Each structure stands twice: as structure tokens, then as C-alpha cells.
Structure 1
Amino acid sequence: MDISSIVGVVAALAIIFTVQILDGGSPSHILLFPSMLLVFGGAFCAAMAGGVLKDATSIGKVLGKAFTAKVTPPTQLLDSIVKLAERARREGLLALEDAVKTVEHPFLKRGLQLAIDGTDPDELHDVLHAEVAAKKKADKAGSKFFENMGGYAPTIGIIGTVMGLVHVLSNLSDAESLGEPISAAFVATLWGVLSANVIFLPMGARLTRLSAIEAEEMELVIDGVLAIQAGSNPRLVAQKLRSMLPPDEMKKAEASASSKKAA
């Protein structure tokens, strides 16, 4: 599990509350339930109003992915594909029928099964790329929902502040007790800006990044499966797939391949 989101959000909140304490305040001064309910609930409802019901009902699943997603090292996937290419080259494509059962990567498993079933290479290419496109659209909907919440939250926070000030101005007769209500009124704006920039927008960016990583991984799988189906030399398969990796990952893959040859 990649914990960057958990660490980032928790650390940001910890810094904010630490600064609040260092300034002589107390976390209880900003942990006001009405303000938080208005901002979080209002931003969620506004984002729901701007989309479809499916986007809102799947927010729990999407949020869970943002916090708990596992990022597979590309070199690990590359090694698996090369091993399958070596076996297919040595024993034939049908020999992979048993090996497919042990493949953990779902997209690679589906691609190999289609290849083993004799799917035409062009059709296989189109089917797998259509799945990548569909996944990108679904991921974009999830990230867009959080981005919308991040856009609405600050304004809803201002609405909360205005509501609080209206209440304060309607009770000017008791001037000595106005300090606390005015302070509470501005907490809504605080939570609007805080939630947008510490939670909602980072979650949207995180989901966009995860989607890009997964799409690149799927593109790697597509080229690998097509090369296996064509009976390409495993060394050429490995070289082609390594060339698709980012520079730092390509160096790791080449170093791993060199160490295996030396062994």
C-alpha cells in the first residue's frame, strides 16, 4: 500500500493544529461541528448536484482507493511478462493456459486468456485498448468529484461565515458577548479553505495520478501480450517493454536483468 496520501493529509492537519496551539489557541476553537457539517456536507451535496448519483454513491470506494491503493513496481510486472514470453517461445502459446491461472494481475490475465483463445491480434489490440479507455473515463469521474468538492468548499465556508455574522449583527445589544460568535463565524471559512486544499483537491490529484500510473501499466501489458502472441524473442520483448518505462525505472529494470544474467 502506498501511504503517501495518509501521511500527507495527517501531517498537514497535524501542522495546522500545532500552529493553532503555538499561537495560544486550542484545537477545540476550530473543531466546531456546525461549521464542519456545513462545509463537508454542503460541498458533497453541491458536487452531487453537479454530477450523477453514481458519482456520489461510489465516493467511499473511490476514497478508499485514494488512501489504500497499491502501486506495483513496473519492473515486477515486466519480469512476469518476460517469463511468460520465454515459456510461450519455448513451449508454444497454448502452454500458457496453466500459467494464466497463477497470474495475479487481472488485466494481464484477461489479455493472455484472449490471446490463448486465438483472438485476432488486431481485435485483441482494440479490445484491450477499449478497456483502458473505459477505465480512464471511470477514474476521471471519481477524481472530478473531489475536484468539484474542492472548488465548492471555500465558497460554502464563506456562506457559513456570512450566516454567522448575520446572527451576530442581529444580537448587537449584548456587545460584550460578541467575540465568541464572531470567532465561530469565521471558522466556517477556515474549514472551507482547509478542506479544499488539504483534503479534496489533493485527493483529486492523487486519483488522477493513480489513474495515469495504472493506464501506463495497462499499456505495458498490452504490448507484452501482443508480443507474446506474435512469438517474439523474449529478449526483444524485455527490451521493448523496458523502453516504455520512465528513465529511473528503466535503469532499475536493466540493472535487474544484468544481475540475473550474472547469476
Structure 2
Amino acid sequence: MDLLTLAGLIIAFASVFLANWLGGGEVVLLLNLPSAIIVIVGSLGAALAQSTLSESVAALRMLSWSLFPPAFDLSGNRRTINLLAHKARRFSIIALENDIKALNNDFAIRAMQMAVDGADPELLSERLHDEAERIREKRGHCIGFLESIGGYAPTLGIMGSVLGLIQAMANLDSPEALGHGIAVAFVSTLYGQGFANLVVFPICRKLYRYADQELLNNQMFIDGIYGIATGKHPQRLDLELSGYE
């Protein structure tokens, strides 16, 4: 679990509550369920309206990366490729049939299996690089869906404030109730800005970084497997792959 994400969110929200408390505000005024509903649920609904079901599901599934990030061990993968390159040079690429699972990566396993099966190295490299780019593009679409939620949140927050003001205006005959209603109304705007800038956008930045790491990891596997398939010297191949770290 990525505890840094949790720590960042806790610190961000704690700063808001602390500032409100130091300013003499009542903490209870910041806790408003209707405001949370219109901002979070409303923003999600607006994002769903602009997207497809498959893309939305993939985006929400990818959201788990913020707490349980994928592991891309470039150094470890480089060492694995180097061992396979030495074995292939000593025997043949066919001898790697039983070592494919050692790659521990679905993309790399599929690529190595194609190489062992005798696929043309040039064609294999070209197609796999295209596939790696498509995977990165799909990740980008998923993160874009999440970013759209953050984009709609401030607007939904303003709408919540307007609704709250409408309800507050209904109590013009009670100044005390009117003042409390106005205070609660503006909580929606705070929720919209906070949800977007303290939660959604920071998490999306982290997901973009993971997507870039995944692309880099896949490209290293492609170049490594291409080098093995073309019989490149293991030391030279390892030197070339060192640039990925």
C-alpha cells in the first residue's frame, strides 16, 4: 500500500480543518452531507455522461493504483533479461521456452513467447512498440476520465451553494437561521474546490507517473527481447538497457 497517498490526503484535509479552527470557525459547519453528495456524486455523473462504460470501469479500476501501485522493477527486469540473453547466446533462443514465466510480466511474457516461436525480430519490435503506445494511450484516457471528475467538481460546488442560498432565502424572517444557512451554503463551494484540488488532481498526477513508468518498463522489455532475438551480445545489450534506469 502506498501510505504516502493516505498521508498526503490526511495532511491536506487536516490543514483545512486546522485553518478553520484557528479562525474561530465551527468544525461542524464543514461537515455537510448534501454538499458532499452534489459535488462527488454529481461530478461522477457528469463524467459518466461524457464517457463510455468500458472506459469508466477501467478508470475506476485504475484508481486503485493510487493506494496499491504496480511495481516496475527496471533494475531487476534488466538483470533478468541479461541472464536470458546469456542463456540464449550459449544455447539458442529456443532454450528460453521454460524461462519465459521468469519475466513475471504479462506483456513481456507474450513478447518473449512470440520471439521464441520464431517471429521476425523487426516486425516483432515494431508491433510491440505500437502496442506499448496503445496501452499508454488507454491509460491516458482512463486518467482523463478521472480528471474530468475534478474538472466538474468546482462547478457542482457552486451549484450546491446556489441551492443552499435558495433554501437560506426561505428563512428571511429568521436572521439567525438565515446566517447559518448562508454559511452552510458556501460549504458546497469549499467541497468542490477541495475535492478537485486536494483529491482528484493530485491522484491523477500520480497515476500519470505510473503510466509513464509502465510504458518505460514495456519499452525496455521490447528492446531487450529484440536484442536477444537478433543475437546481440549480452554485455552490449545490458549497456543499452542501462539507459532505461
The alignment's TM-score, normalised by the length of structure 1, stands at 0.87
Mapping for residues 15-30 of structure 1, pairs under 5 Å: 15-30=15-30
> 1:26: how far off?
4.3
Mean Cα deviation higher: 115-124 or 61-70 = 61-70
> 1:57: how far off?
3.0
Q: Is the 8 A contact 1:220 1:241 kept in 2?
A: yes
Mapping for residues 230-241 of structure 1, pairs under 5 Å: 230-241=230-241
Q: Distance in 2 between matches of 1:204 and 1:189?
A: 21
> 1:106: how far off?
1.8
Instruction: Give 3-state SS (helix, strand or coil) of 1:160's partner.
Output: helix
Partner residue, 2:134: 134
Partner residue, 1:177: 177
Q: Distance in 1 between matches of 2:175 and 2:11?
A: 39
Mapping for residues 70-149 of structure 1, pairs under 5 Å: 70-149=70-149
Instruction: Give 3-state SS (helix, strand or coil) of 1:178's partner.
Output: helix
Measured against aligned partners, the alpha-carbon deviations of 1:237-259 in whole angstroms (never above 9, x if no partner) come to 110001233xxxxxxxxxxxxxx
Q: Is the 8 A contact 1:156 1:192 kept in 2?
A: yes
Q: Distance in 1 between matches of 2:237 and 2:57?
A: 42
Instruction: Give 3-state SS (helix, strand or coil) of 1:109's partner.
Output: helix
Unaligned runs of 5+ in 1: 246-263
Aligned length: 245
Partner residue, 1:54: 54
Q: Is the 8 A contact 2:47 2:145 kept in 1?
A: yes
Cα distance change on mapping 1:236 and 1:12 into 2, 3 Å:
same
Mean Cα deviation higher: 98-107 or 149-158 = 98-107
Q: Distance in 1 between matches of 2:219 and 2:13?
A: 37
Q: Is the 8 A contact 1:96 1:116 kept in 2?
A: yes
Q: Distance in 2 between matches of 1:94 and 1:29?
A: 69
RMSD: 1.6
> 1:149: how far off?
1.0
Q: Is the 8 A contact 2:87 2:96 kept in 1?
A: yes
Q: Distance in 1 between matches of 2:181 and 2:145?
A: 33
Identity, % of aligned positions: 33
Partner residue, 2:160: 160
Measured against aligned partners, the alpha-carbon deviations of 1:127-184 in whole angstroms (never above 9, x if no partner) come to 3123212211210111101111111100110111111112212321112321211111
Instruction: Give 3-state SS (helix, strand or coil) of 2:244's partner.
Output: coil
Measured against aligned partners, the alpha-carbon deviations of 1:97-146 in whole angstroms (never above 9, x if no partner) come to 11113331222211111100000112211331232122112101111011
Unaligned runs of 5+ in 2: none
The alignment's TM-score, normalised by the length of structure 2, stands at 0.93
